[in-house]
Chains A and B, each alone.
Chain A
Amino acid sequence: MRDVAIVSVSQSTHQRSLDHLNEVEMIQPVIQGAFEQIDATIRDIDFVCSGSSDYLAGQAFSFVMSLDAVGAWPPMAESHVEMDGAWALYEAWLKIQSGHADTALVFAYSKASPGDLPRVLSRQLDPYYYGPLWPDSVAIAGLQARAMIDAGLTSEAAMAEIAHRNRTVALDNPHAQVKGSASIEELLAQPYLSDPLRVHDCPPISDGGVAVILAAGDKAHQWSKRPAWIRGLDHRVDSHNFGARDLTTSPSISIAADKAGVAHGKVDIAELCTPFTHQETIAVKALGLGDDCVVNPSGGPLAANPMMAAGLIRLGEVANRIMDGTADRGVAHATSGHCLQQNLIAVLEGEG
């Protein structure tokens, strides 16, 4: 295996609506930021891969136009996934592992603001049984939260505590959209949105993006004093059929964590893409994280949740803390689909 590291991370200041900008205008400064941090240009990049969704843009082949923000001239090797950017990073990592590239730019973005996000997300469901019922994404997450509470694995108070902790640490995150929290008692006094979920249990709806630069071996050392080496990377999927799953657990996270080698060392920090409060409890357990692991020091997706980017941002947040020396070893998690259906786990390490 080749040594591959994240050497640069740049993200938007996420907002509810970047109404005046199109996707290209929104993502271009983010990509430029990733290059400027390491004094590089697109000419230094062998492969580009992005993650975005036409369903969010409300426009076919929207990702092709966002390539304007890359400067794809002369013609270059490029790919796209209709998934969270963490999976675009996976593709780029494979490309580097296969020896076809030494460097890669990975970016992901979405504007959820033009559409009705909970309804748009219902289109991830199968078209015959669930899809025709148009259940919104919050209601589906509510089913999972109810199953968790009924199984005694969480409580409304424990969920409020998770919301409170994430949004409180988000006060220190310059990119966060929702910063600070009312007290847990005040949160629990709020009405339900989709019983048992209250507004604080749900992620904000965000417009924003992220860009990450990967490099192999010596190139990584050249661009970063302390690269965030990707020591393990794996992704797994559970059934799309809710009735065939135990919604209170995540076998796919556990398997991916095992394959990525999460347990092979102390985990200083974990950035989990758990948009709903109860899902953090599922992910922490499935990953086997101990009490000494700091979970979501950025505030996680409860503080900002740009679809398609939120998972790649988790890798970026861990990488930043390794590059600046705050952490030696961290775990990043990305998810796609409803109720943590599909999951990617990355283990990042610094050296020296």
Chain B
Amino acid sequence: MPPYDNDRVVVELTNPGWSQPEIHIPAGGGDGEPVQRIRVPAALRYRYNPGTAPTEFLLALANKKLVGGVCPETGDVYVPPRGVSPVVGRPTSGTVEIGPNGTVTTFCVVHIGFGVNAPPTPFVSALILPDGAAVSLYGTILEIPIEQVRTGMRLEPVWVDDDELTTSFENIKYWRPLDEPDVDPDLLKGHM
């Protein structure tokens, strides 16, 4: 955990250029102590509705399935579906099931983890192309040494336990290797 200066998080990374500088408070006028901070609680609550097509995607996730939206002109399947084909700007012609297995299109090794659910570093974040989809989803790859991860590698999602399934993308805990031959990276061009 980073050290705390009262309520201010001070991030200290090995590269000093990324760390936050000290604050110097100028002396105020008059006899009082300078004002160093004010506390202003700020919160706005939203009742967010994901929309028609994303709702189908989230409902499918609760059944351990992936669905995407079909472009009315090219037939390409976009995931997550948003109701509109992004390349032609027209409503998608419906949703179809894809994956859930997929292929690594690109990846990186993460050395600085953010968020409470981040795995121990270093770990691999990847873009994963579900079978039948035109674009990749974001995911974490585990159960393989990081130096063995490669573009074209076949993966399957690891789902949370059935009693923990919700309408959430977090139903996929992570992805792990499948014992299948790699896909030729040339076939993955344009599908990141």
Contact = CB atoms under 8 A, between A and B. Distances in A.
Interface of A: 19-25, 28-29, 31-32, 42, 55, 58-59, 65, 67-73, 113-116, 119-120, 123, 127-128, 131-132
Name which of B49, B53, B88, B90 has the most chain A CB atoms within 10 A of its CB: B49
A114 B48 contact: yes
Contacts of B90: 28, 32, 71
Nearest to A127: B40
Contact of B51 (A24, A115, A131): A24
B136 interface: no
Given A32-B89, A71-B87, A131-B40, A22 B49 contact: yes
B83 A28 contact: yes
B44 A119 contact: yes
A71 B48 contact: no
Interface of B: 38, 40, 42, 44-54, 82-91
Nearest to B78: A68
A114 B49 CA distance: 7
B72 to A, nearest CB: 11
A115 B84 contact: no
Given A22-B83, A65-B82, A71-B88, A59 B48 contact: yes
Given A28-B91, A71-B85, A71-B86, A22 B51 contact: yes
A23 B50 CA distance: 9
Contacts of A114: 46-49
Contacts of A65: 82
A113 B38 CA distance: 31
A29 to B, nearest CB: 8
A23 B48 CA distance: 11
Given A68-B85, A114-B46, A116-B44, 20 more contacts: A20-B49, A20-B51, A21-B51, A22-B50, A22-B52, A22-B83, A23-B51, A25-B51, A28-B83, A29-B91, A32-B89, A32-B90, A69-B89, A71-B85, A72-B86, A72-B89, A114-B49, A115-B46, A127-B40, A132-B38
B52 A25 contact: yes
B52 A21 contact: yes
Contact of A115 (B40, B44, B52, B89): B44
Nearest to A111: B49
Contacts of B50: 22
A24 B51 CA distance: 9
B48 to A, nearest CB: 5
Contacts of B40: 127, 131-132
A31 B46 contact: no
Nearest to A21: B51
A180 B82 CA distance: 36
Contacts of A24: 51, 82-84
A25 B83 contact: yes
Nearest to B88: A71
B191 to A, nearest CB: 14
Contact of A42 (B44, B46, B89, B91): B89
A28 B49 contact: no
Contacts of B86: 67-68, 71-73
A119 B45 CA distance: 10
A155 B53 CA distance: 49
A251 B97 CA distance: 59
Contacts of B91: 25, 28-29
A164 B47 CA distance: 33
Name which of B40, B45, B82, B89 has the most chain A CB atoms within 10 A of its CB: B89
B159 to A, nearest CB: 25
Contact of B44 (A21, A29, A58, A71): A58
B82 to A, nearest CB: 5
Contacts of B38: 128, 132
A124 to B, nearest CB: 13
Nearest to A35: B89
Contact of B89 (A58, A59, A71): A71
22 contacts: A21-B49, A22-B52, A25-B82, A25-B83, A28-B90, A28-B91, A29-B91, A32-B89, A32-B90, A42-B89, A55-B44, A58-B44, A58-B48, A68-B84, A68-B85, A68-B86, A113-B47, A115-B46, A119-B44, A127-B40, A131-B40, A132-B40
A161 to B, nearest CB: 35
Contacts of B47: 113-115
Give me the 8 closest cross-chain CB pairs, A-B, nearest first. A71-B89, A22-B51, A58-B46, A73-B87, A68-B86, A25-B83, A132-B40, A114-B46
A22 B44 contact: no
Contacts of A131: 40
A292 to B, nearest CB: 43
B89 to A, nearest CB: 3
